[in-house]
Structure 1
Amino acid sequence: MIPVTRTFLPDLDVYTAYLKGMWESGVLTNNGPLSKQLSAEISNSLGITHLQLVTNGTLAIQLAIKALGLQGEIITTPYSYVATTNSILWEGCTPKFVDVDATSFCIDPDLIEAAITEKTSAILATHVYGYPCDVGRIQDIADRHGLKVIYDAAHAYGVRLQGESLLNHGDCSTLSFHATKLFHTGEGGAVIFRDKEVADRAFLMSKFGHLGEDHYIDLGINTKMSELHAAMGLSMLPHVSSIIEARRQCSAWYDEFLAGTKLQRPEVVRGLEYNFAYYPVVFETHQKAMAVREALQNNGVFPRRYFHPSLNTLPFLDEATRSPCPVSESLASRVLSLPLYTALSQQEILMIATCIKNVLDI
């Protein structure tokens, strides 16, 4: 069986060495030494500041919304994982969907200003598959209208734009360290803040708003990363470069073997250092995409309809929120994310590509 992804696991002896230290210290959570070390090493390797480790990528978005004090409407993308929309709703805000650009698959900046109302407090956009939003234009719009900017950067670990970490854009960026990501802690995530004061508030909120033994300063919940998860992250960090390189090679094989199929791929912008997090392909029609998915599954290959459905069509949204987003809806009906992970072989990718070509009659 060839799944859409397979979790990379570091050397077990390395991981258990961290666990042994944890056993000796007796510290399992509450911003322990491994969490502090992981935060420092990630920040140093990516060139970022004000990083807060959290329990998962969804709580990262929720914590960002709460720490920034957002209310009312948040302009957002319909082409993302459901956690993006759910986080907005969970924090009592209203998602205002703006359609995506047909080449980048990210939120279309040409459509943002028309969606701004007196109730708008922020823009929450996704760097789709790790490909960057038009961060310059989005920031210009936000500055003109006094809005905050959050980037769901769950796919963008290690991505650089014009030589700088993509995570440094906006008021904050959120990461997921789920086991399916190229860098993971099993479960986990992080928020990167531009402003230290907001970062300090988020840190307080992440531990129940509790300072010292009995001082409760702010409303808070528990989003702390455990030492067990931090140990996994520390074990993973030395492998990030080789993981990205292996995924780059797999992507290059896909490019070679799928040449001539006219499958649509996200546009690569100038100055992008990509992390090869995903290999999405968009077919001409929904019918062709589903025929390819069925053929691949019959051959033991399991791609994913990632992202599907378009989030503006979610059944639990009220009617007013479910505004049409034709580009996103079209992409969501025609996309497949093909298998991509470090252990995937050239021969397996050739088999996948051949199966696709056979269905497309190429």
Structure 2
Amino acid sequence: MSLRHFGIAGEIITPPFSFVATSHAIRWAGATPVFADIDPVTLNLDPAAVEAAITDRTEAILAVHCYGVPCNTAALAAIASRHGLKLIYDAAHAFGVRRGGRPIVAEGDLSVLSFHATKVFNTFEGGAIISPDRETKVALDRLGNYGILDEVTVLETGLNTKMSELNAAVGLALLPHMDAAFAARDRVATRYWEALSQVEGVTCLCPPGQKGHNSYAFPVLVGEAYPMTRDGLYQRLREHDLFARRYFYPLISDMPMYHHLPSAAPDALTVARRAADRILCLPLYPDLDPVDLDRVIEVIRRP
């Protein structure tokens, strides 16, 4: 809906390393995704790759705060300003994330949050668009209510994207407990980090204890020095009834509705492809039983 608000119908630069909804949103808005490679440390859009992908058809950048780790927002904002592009953030993982005391969702022209049941804060299903001003919010609210202005006036073609009262009630009940949830997630992430950061062939990506981070996930990269492949470790955990996720694998650019795009060429997305082939997100939620947490650690340390 954020893309429909801006009336974007050209090309939008976005990462292939994300949940498929990011690119689907572009397609549903009638625009074309253009994939750019990611940074090898943050796994977010690489500003240099974004700059190289800009053409006279480019209208926007849709970046993702992957695992709640903030993008290089300053560099992306500078690129967007220089080329006259809209800058929108998929902040699905980033509820509660702050940088320099400022909410990360305040960056860009718009930021979109997910309140799906798997997220740090949830309403079972739903989400929110963070607007920079009242005028934008009013326009988005109207677009999410069939384009209705008043009892007798419909201004535009809209959809029904309103949250139900039940979903809202779930969110309101959870809000007072979010500080405790963040702290519990950080404790799980800290235990993983202390136990796994020195395991040869395993690279832990999100250091715990970072002020303003939400410990949404604990992703690791499984490298050649590890005794088995990423998929082998994934299966080994499942054999012990421990369920990790290859998140994000495969790349969006490899999916049948996108692989034909010129920007989906494998040799242009080498960092993203290597990450997708090695990534594994370990179980992480506030009430993860310490016994189960130690079971995950033991399987990884003794494959």
State the TM-score, normalizing by the size of structure 2: 0.94
From the superposition, tell whether residues 271 and 259 of structure 1 become closer, same or farther in structure 2 (CA, over 3 Å): closer
Aligned to 1:289: 230
1:280 partner amino acid: P
With CA pairs under 8 Å and 6+ residues apart, which has the higher RCO, 1 or 2? 1
Note the alpha carbon deviations across 1:62-119, whole angstroms, 9 max, x for none: x110112212000001111000011101111100100000000000011111111111
Q: Is the contact made by 2:14 and 2:63 (CA closer than 8 Å) also made in structure 1? A: yes
Q: Once the 2 structures are TM-superposed, how far is the Cα of residue 219 of structure 1 from its aligned partner?
A: 2.0
Per the TM alignment, residue 288 of structure 1 is displaced from its structure 2 partner at its CA by: 1.7
Who is 1:50 aligned against?
none
Post-superposition Cα deviations, 1:137-174, rounded to whole Å, max 9, x if no partner, equal 00000000000000000000000001110000000000
Structure 1 residue aligned with 2:218: 279
Partner secondary structure for residue 238 of structure 1:
helix
8 Å Cα contact 2:35-2:263 kept in structure 1:
yes
Structure-1 residue corresponding to 2:6: 68
Match of 2:52 in 1: 114
Pairwise mapping of residues 310-329 of structure 1 onto structure 2 (< 5 A)? 310-317=251-258, 318-324=260-266, 325-329=269-273
Deviation string for 1:259-279 (max 9, x for gaps)? 311422336699851000001
Cα pair 2:219 2:280 within 8 Å, conserved: yes
- Return the match for 2:151 from 208, 213, 218: 213
Residue among 232, 249, 261 paired with 1:308:
249
Give the aligned CA root-mean-square deviation in angstroms. Answer: 1.8
Aligned partners of 1:122 and 1:147 also within 8 Å:
yes
Instruction: Judge which range, 281-290 or 324-333, deviates more.
Output: 281-290
| Structure 1 residue 336 corresponds to structure 2 residue 277 | no
- Structure 2 residue runs of 5 or longer lacking an equivalent are none
Partner residue of 2:32 out of 94, 103, 111: 94
- With over 3 angstroms needed to count, the CA separation of the structure-2 counterparts of 1:319 and 1:165, relative to structure 1, is closer
1:26 aligns with: none
Is the Cα–Cα contact under 8 Å of residues 186 and 209 in structure 2 kept in the other structure?
A: no
Q: Which amino acid aligns with 1:332?
A: A
2:48 partner amino acid? D
Q: Which residue of 1 aligns with 2:302?
A: 358
> How much does 1:294 deviate?
1.3
Distance 2:292 2:46 in 1: 36
Per-residue CA deviation, residues 306-330 of structure 1 (Å, 9 max, x unaligned), is 1111111111123434233111111
Give the stretch that moved more between structures: 208-217 or 277-286. Answer: 277-286
Aligned to 1:168: 106
Whether contact under 8 Å (2:190, 2:208) holds in the other structure is no
Deviation at 1:233, TM superposition (A): 0.6
**Structure 1 residues 339, 267: closer, same or farther in 2, change over 3 A?**
closer
Aligned position for 1:229:
167
2:86 maps to what in 1? 148
* Paired residues of 1:207 and 1:223 also in contact (CA < 8 A): yes
Of 196-205 and 323-332, deviating more is 196-205
Do the aligned residues in 2 keep the contact of 1:139 with 1:170 (CA within 8 Å)? yes
Q: Secondary structure at the match of 1:264?
A: strand
1:105 and 2:105 are equivalent in the alignment:
no
Task: Report what 2:128 is aligned to.
Answer: 190
Match of 2:15 in 1: 77
Moved more, 250-259 or 184-193: 250-259
Aligned length: 297
Is the 1:131–1:266 contact (alpha carbons within 8 Å) kept by the matching residues of 2? no
Task: Provide the C-alpha distance between the structure 2 equivalents of 1:115 and 1:75, rounded to a whole number of angstroms.
Answer: 7
Kept in 1, the 8 Å contact 2:222–2:278? The answer is yes
Using the alignment, how far apart are the partners of 2:191 and 2:29 within structure 1?
Answer: 42
Local SS of the residue matching 1:185: coil
Q: Please, which moves more after superposition, 188-197 or 66-75? A: 188-197
Of all paired residues, the percent bearing the same amino acid is: 40
Gap runs ≥5 in structure 1? 1-62
